[in-house]
Structure 1
Amino acid sequence: MTTRSANFHSIADGVYAWQPQQRGWGLANCGLVASDTTALWIDTPYDRKLAGQFLDRTRAVLRKGVTVDRILVTHANGDHMWGAGVLPDAELITTHEALHHIAYEPTPEQQHSLLKTLDPASDTGSYLHEHFGCFDWSDTPAIQPDTVFTGELELRVGDIPVQVSSLPPAHTSGDLIVHLPTRSTVFTGDIVFGSTATQPGDHPVHWAGPLGNVIAAVERVLATGAETIVPGHGPLLTRYDLRAHAEYLGHVRDRAHALHAAGVPVADAAQTVIDERRYPELGLPERLLVTIATEYRHLDGSEPPAMLEVFGRMAGLARQHGADNAASTV
């Protein structure tokens, strides 16, 4: 089993980032906003073990008697939410629209059971074991929010104002961003997947879309004027990096629209974009299949497939991509 480690560090006065040091599925960034009297988490790690490590690091920097009493969840993917069980008394806050995605995703119990029953020799089983087998949800209860909202939410952590904004469907059906104006920092959740010239990340995966909404959300982050951007995954970003990410999203959207107009099936469209190697430094290129399929659905009105079917298609594409890469080195 692969060891997962994370870097926990201060990024502004009273603001900390928890950042996994590896790339890959499920390794989400989280945040801590702390004062002399209260503290707040922004997202949680994927399972209780990682969440416990984040909690230990959190407690080490909090003043005596201060606890984390609120958790802001940027969206309802399990890798940003399922670790909340280590803080059972904290108020879990997310958007009302996130409830739709909670209903779409498997529960921790279902995902744990699925990994136990899938044949690891199959494409889907092999892929899921490779990317998710390091997590343990055997004692993770289904997580439900305590408080949901739509629109804007104003909070405070001591003297730190926290501006929370819900977004139209983008990465999921219910995303939010967290702006700390006095700290010039925004936590974006998976509206942004971080990548820089020196620290390349992975291809984004977007479940709800359309990509125009994701791009608009990135522009909304830029409009805050924040200088430090904490993406849902990957390294911290500057405003320059964020603009580069918007260009990436625009490229994928434009290619998806052109290939859809040409009548290219979605799987072939994803393979075409991968083969063009516009962004060869990014990992997990098979995730383009999900993002392009999401864009196709907005163009032709089709319904999203079941989650396991989605991963099966990605697994096949990943296997083919790996075989093509191996052949090219012979």
Structure 2
Amino acid sequence: MTTSRANVSAIAEDLYVWLPPKRGWGLANCGLLASPRAALWIDTPYDPSLAAEFLAESRKRLPEGVEVDRVVVTHANGDHLWGAGVLPDAEVIATHEALEHIHYEPAPKQQHALVAGGDPESPLGGYLQRHFGQFDWSQTEPVHPHTVFRGELELRVGDYPVQITGLPAAHTGGDLMVHLPYQRAVFTGDVVFGSTPEQPGDHPSHWSGPLENIIGACEQALATGAEIFVPGHGPVLDRSGVQAHIAYLEHVRERAHALHAEGTPALDAARRIIAEQRYPELGLPERLVLTVSAEYRHLDGSAVPNVLEAMTQVALVAREIEASAGQPGGTPGPRSAQDAPAPA
């Protein structure tokens, strides 16, 4: 059962953000926009326990008689979608393209069985239990969006405008960003993974790409003129924080393209980029396996692996990093997300 306590903070007028207390797989940021007549969630926590906690915290901040009646989902990864089950009467809004990604991932109960029933001695089984064992989807039913759209969609939450923009395939095939003009804030979903010197984050894990689209989405977020950027994971950023993330993405793209041109296979390219330790403060470097593999697919047209194949490669590289760090003379890997301090 999930035991972590998240922090809910006001970041603008009637706008709140839920920030998990540590970094790591599945610990996504969520938003609450409240008004005297209506309320909106932007993304949801991963499992029912965390989602119920966010709902209780949301209700403390809502006027009497107001409930959260809509949920905008920035993309269809379970850590942003599956918590919507605690709001059975709310309208769930996503892009039309997100429907395909829902079928790419295991359903919640399937994922629970994979995590709970895996062999802890195998690379994949041990990795899943270490990073996902804290979540409980044993009773979680799949969440199906009620409203899907292509392009743009504008809502109002009370008097507040909400501008929703579908993005070209980036983190997944079905991302969107949410711009709140009055609050001068953007929820980027996982096209941005937040990190600051004070609160280092994790390496992103991108399933779709290409990186050019992800960089373009970051630039599109900046083009709104917003001052507050809530990434899918990690600390809230200002404009310079998003620009720093663009520089990270450009670096990964440059190295992936150079290694591809040399004929280096995707998995070995990810190993090379990890070993260079350009961003040693970031956790979960093994997730570069996913991002580099996705970029290679756009360069050479290789097939899309299923989730278990992809995560098996991630788990193998994580084990290699740990073994290297433990060997005499080995190169220490970046800190594990599990060892990272909780955000202040």
Matches within 5 A, 1:114-263: 114-263=114-263
CA contact (8 A) 2:116 2:129 kept: no
For normalisation by structure 2, the TM-score amounts to 0.95
Is the partner of 1:182 in helix, strand or coil?
Answer: coil
Tell me the residue number matched to 1:305: 305
* Structure-2 separation of matches of 1:7 and 1:327: 38
In the aligned structure 2, how far is the partner of 1:113 from the partner of 1:201? 28
TM-score (norm 1): 0.99
- Give me the whole-angstrom Cα distance separating, in 2, the residues matched to 1:270 and 1:138: 34
Displacement after TM superposition at 1:328 (Å)? 5.0
Matched residue SS, 1:69: strand
Q: In 1, are the aligned partners of 2:2 and 2:49 still within 8 Å (CA)?
A: no
Match of 1:81, SS state, is helix
Whole-angstrom CA distance in 1 between matches of 2:211 and 2:284: 19
What amino acid maps onto 1:99 in structure 2?
L
* C-alpha distance 147-235 of structure 1, shift in aligned 2 (>3 A): same
Aligned counterparts of 2:271 and 2:120: Cα–Cα separation in 1? 24
Kindly state the Cα deviation for residue 116 of structure 1 after the two structures are TM-superposed.
2.6
> Residue 209 of structure 1 aligns to which amino acid in structure 2?
G
- The residue aligned with 2:341 is none
Q: Do the aligned partners of 2:2 and 2:50 also contact (CA within 8 Å) in 1?
A: no
Distance 2:129 2:51 in 1: 21
Matched to 2:268, the amino acid is D
CA contact 1:5–1:22 (8 Å) conserved in 2: no
- Is the partner of 2:31 in helix, strand or coil? strand
Cα shift at 1:117: 2.1
Residue of structure 1 in register with 2:317 after alignment: 317
Partners of 1:250 and 1:267 lie apart in 2 by: 19
Cα displacement (A) at 1:159: 1.1
Q: Distance in 1 between matches of 2:232 and 2:172?
A: 13
- Following the alignment from structure 2 to structure 1, what is the Cα–Cα distance between the partners of residues 114 and 268? 28
Q: Which amino acid aligns with 1:98?
A: A
1:26-48 deviation digits (Å, cap 9, x = unpaired): 00000000000000000000000
Q: Percent identity of the aligned residues?
A: 62
Partner of 1:67: 67
| Unmatched runs of 5 consecutive residues or more in structure 1 | none
CA distance in 2: counterparts of 1:217 and 1:26, whole angstroms? 22
Residue identity in the other structure for 2:225: G
Deviation (angstroms), 1:266 = 1.0
In the alignment, does 2:94 pair up with 1:84?
no
Query: Does the Cα contact within 8 Å between 1:112 and 1:136 map onto a contact in 2?
Result: yes
Take 1:75 and 1:203, find their aligned partners in 2: how far apart are those partners? 18
Amino acid at match of 1:6: A
> What is the deviation of 1:329?
6.3
For residues 229-269 of structure 1, the C-alpha deviation after alignment (integer angstroms, 9 at most, x for no partner) is 00000000010010000000000001000000100011110
Give the deviation of 1:121 after TM superposition: 1.1
Aligned to 2:51: 51
State how many pairs are aligned.
330
Kindly indicate whether the alpha-carbon contact (under 8 Å) linking 1:155 and 1:161 is maintained by their aligned counterparts in 2.
Answer: yes
RMSD over equivalenced CA pairs, Å: 1.0
Cα distance between partner residues in 2 of 1:285 and 1:76 = 23
Change (3 A) 1:35 1:277: same
Which residue identity lines up with residue 194 of structure 2 in the other structure? G
Q: Return structure 1 stretches of 4+ with deviation > 3 angstroms.
A: none
For 1:54, the aligned partner's letter is F
Moved more, 307-316 or 169-178: 307-316
Kept in 1, the 8 Å contact 2:2–2:135? The answer is: no
Aligned residue in 2 for 1:38: 38
Gaps of 5+ in 2: 331-344
Q: Distance in 1 between matches of 2:201 and 2:164?
A: 26
| Alpha-carbon distance in 2 for matches of 1:328, 1:203 | 26
Distance 1:240 1:111 in 2: 37
